[in-house]
Amino acid sequence: MSRPTDELTLDQATIRAADPREMLADVLSLPDQLRDAAWKVESAGLTPWESPGGLVIAGMGGSGIGGALAMEAIGDTASRPISLARGYELPSWTTADSTVLCTSYSGSTEETLACYEAAGVIGARRVVATTGGELGELARRDGVPVIPIAGGLQPRAALGYVFVAALEVAALAGVAPRRTIEIDVAAAHLEQLVGEWGPGAPSDAEPKALARQLLGTIPLIYGAGPTSAVAYRWKCQFNENAKLHAFSHSLPELDHNELMGWERAAESAAFAAVFLDDPDLHPRLAQRIAITRDLIDDQAQATIVVGQRSGTTLERLLSLVLLGDLASVYLAVLRGQDPSPIAGIDALKRALSA
250 and 223 in contact (C-beta within 8 Å)? yes
What is the pLDDT confidence band of residue 8, given thresholds at 50, 70 and 90? low
- 32 with 146, same domain: the answer is yes
Domain count, the chain: 2
Same domain, 30 and 169: yes
Q: Tell me what pLDDT residue 309 has.
A: 81
Provide the H-helix boundaries in the chain.
12-18, 23-28, 30-43, 61-74, 110-122, 133-142, 159-172, 180-197, 206-214, 228-240, 283-296, 313-334, 343-353
Residues 56, 71: Cα–Cα separation, whole Å: 10
pLDDT of 268 > 60? The answer is yes
In a domain, 17, yes or no: no
Are residues 171 and 60 part of one domain? yes
22 flagged as catalytic: no
Same domain, 234 and 271: yes
Taking residues 78-98, what's their average pLDDT? 96
Q: What is the pLDDT of residues 149-196, one digit of tens each?
A: 999 999 999 999 999 999 999 999 999 999 999 999 999 999 999 999
pLDDT attached to residue 4: 42
Whether the pTM exceeds 0.85: the reply is yes
User: Residue 1: pLDDT band by 50, 70, 90 thresholds?
Assistant: very low
pLDDT at 103 over 90: yes
**In terms of domains, do 121 and 35 share one?**
yes
Known catalytic membership, residue 258 = no
pLDDT tens by residue, 110-160: 999 999 999 999 999 999 999 999 999 999 999 999 999 999 999 999 999
Q: What is the CATH number of the domain that holds 132?
A: 3.40.50.10490
Residues 123 and 267 in one domain: no
Separation of alpha carbons 271 and 217, rounded Å: 5
Is 159 found in the same domain as 225?
no
Q: Does residue 6 have a pLDDT over 80?
A: no
Structural domain includes residue 228: yes
Using the predicted structure, report yes or no on whether residue 3 has a pLDDT greater than 70. no
Same domain (yes/no): 138, 33: yes
Q: How far are the Cα atoms of 20, 102, 136, 164 from residue 145, in angstroms, in the given order? A: 36, 11, 9, 16
Say what the pLDDT of residue 109 is. 96
Q: Are residues 36 and 155 in the same domain?
A: yes
* Cα 102 from Cα 296, distance rounded (Å): 40
Choice among 111, 168, 240, 315 that is catalytic? 240
Structural domain boundaries, residue 306: 199-334
